[in-house]
Chains A and B, each alone.
Chain A
Amino acid sequence: MALTLPPDVGVPLSWPSQPGNGLRRSRGLGRALRVLLALALALWFILPLVPLALWAFADRWSFPAVLPQAWGWDGVRTALAQGAVPAFGHSLLLGLLVSAFATPLGVLAARALAYHRVPFAPAVSVMLFAPLALPAFVAALGLNVVLLRLHVPAFAGVVLLLMVYALPYTSYTMRVAYGAHDLAIEEEARLLGASPWQLMWRVQLPLLAPALARAAFLAFLVGWSDYVITLLVGGGTIVTVPLLVAAAAAGTGNDATVALLSAAAVLPPLVLLLGLGRFGRRPNGGRP
């Protein structure tokens, strides 16, 4: 597994908060402690990202200095020279392909489990979650030989493995969405003469759009963040951003390059996540 992602818990990737009333509000010393605790937690979450921002545009930052001594574009130049642009292309392609395969498969599996009689349904659910329990390096290490003997192209092999590691997220997200989905609306549309095609485009898709977007995003993230599967199954031929970062970070004196590549690797999914937050809150996209 490339990373642990939040499974859908009803309102995922957006932080639900309820206003509540004054009953639980803290006062005096308790309130001060609570604010301190919140600030400490905020620091805990943001602190590891601070050196990335500082190092990314630091040309010179020798040891005891607390802040960079010279700002500039050296990091950018080195990163470009090391092939940051093709690596970005590979990462993007990998994320999109994993998302393109794992989302429909997850949708189909979730719909079958939610509405149809699936033979051995518990076993099917276990199988869909099994990738969470099997360390990614074991699958990559074992299947490497098989994929080589079957002459599966390296890129296809990487996509296949990552797709399976994205399935728990897509199928679970869609399973929850189908659980909240009202079949009566589909029946009503059919009663009013909607064709299966219209049913899909005009009823199912709009109702499930937020969940679909979440599932697709999580699957994209699996492809975008993976290191060990790309390394082992790709056999060094597919250089993605995580592989570049790892190579640079394992050496010494590349701090600016590492920071720049890392910051650049975090930005695209972050932009997607922010967009997803807006999309998910669209008033006509939610549950009926």
Chain B
Amino acid sequence: MAAPAVLVATFVVGGGMATSLAQSLGLFPLVGPPSLTVAAYAAQASELPAGIGLSLAIAAASTLVACLVGFTAALVIVQGRWCGKLVAALGTLTIPVPHIIGAASMSLLLADSGLLARLFNTGGGWPELVGGPWWIAVVAEYGWKESAFVALVVTGTLATRAVSYDETAALLGAGRLRRLRHVLIPLSMPALAVCATIVFVYSLGSYEVAWLLGRAYPEPLPVMALQLFNSATLTARPEAAAVAMVTTTLSFGAVAAAFAYLRRSTLWR
């Protein structure tokens, strides 16, 4: 009964990777005979390091923000009462927001004519958050959207067990910080690690947010790949596929590293 799902997944995931690889190696040219070559990779060799570094940095920063804010939100939510309910309700509100909509709203919020620039009337001295050198708006969008995701998942894990452990620790005289360190953080670590992997891989391979809120140069890998894909040059298609394969390798590498970590630590039960 699992066959239909596995078949379509294999077609899309396996097929998508195989055809990307074939295109990047020149086996699927738009014109001319196919020939095995690494020319596409060589052509982008000078651009790739910057793209890889930028993509990894954006993904790492977004993951850090999402996990820190999401974990804090989960702690507040698990405490319950009205402030927990408020954070929970507003966090839920962001769950069905598509990323492209989130990016559009971030632009209306953070741009130099955005809402924040109007509120703190800086008279032209507003920092370049959208399209600036530090990719602040991009990281803010991922951090904002994904922190709600992290909060939801971590709350789910904490809510079932944390309260009783936390109360026991409190009864035995553990202070707030010690309970955080010895009860709440260890209990949420597995969920947090899984969330971090998902957020990292997503922000590494996602196109639209970096495209809308980023700057023209240097480009993160997905933006680079799609610019090449849409360009008029015939040789650009294999180059786009080469960039896509580099992104895929990084993405699967991150997942493999996360699995190795989870397996090695005793977190995975």
Contact = CB atoms under 8 A, between A and B. Distances in A.
Contact of A108 (B4, B96, B155): B4
A265 interface: yes
A145 B28 contact: yes
Q: How large is the interface on A (under 10, 10 to 19, 20 to 34, 35 or more residues)?
A: 35 or more
Contacts of B248: 134-135, 138
B261 interface: no
B95 interface: yes
Given A17-B78, A17-B159, A34-B76, A24 B170 contact: yes
A85 B121 CA distance: 37
Nearest to B205: A135
B88 A13 contact: no
Interface stretch (A59-67, A72-80, A185-193, A203-211): A59-67
A142 B153 contact: no
Interface in B242-262: 244-245, 247-248, 251-252, 255
Interface residues of B, number: 106
Interface stretch (A194-202, A255-263, A280-288): A255-263
Interface stretch (B32-40, B42-50, B196-204): B196-204
B20 A138 contact: yes
Interface in A208-255: 221, 224-228, 232, 242, 245-246, 248-250, 255
Nearest to B108: A51
A141 B238 CA distance: 11
B6 A142 contact: no
Contact of A132 (B18, B86, B103, B198): B198
A145 B6 CA distance: 22
Contacts of B105: 48-49, 51-52, 259, 262
A48 B144 contact: yes
Residues of A contacting B: mostly: helix
Contacts of B73: 41, 45
Given A131-B9, A249-B212, A141 B2 contact: no
A124 B115 CA distance: 48
A38 B99 CA distance: 24
A111 B4 CA distance: 13
Interface string B96-136: 11111111111111000111001101000000000000000
Contacts of A156: none
26 contacts: A1-B206, A7-B153, A16-B159, A19-B80, A34-B76, A38-B76, A38-B86, A46-B90, A46-B93, A47-B109, A48-B102, A48-B141, A64-B121, A109-B2, A118-B2, A130-B9, A134-B251, A135-B206, A138-B17, A138-B244, A141-B241, A142-B17, A142-B241, A167-B8, A227-B100, A259-B104
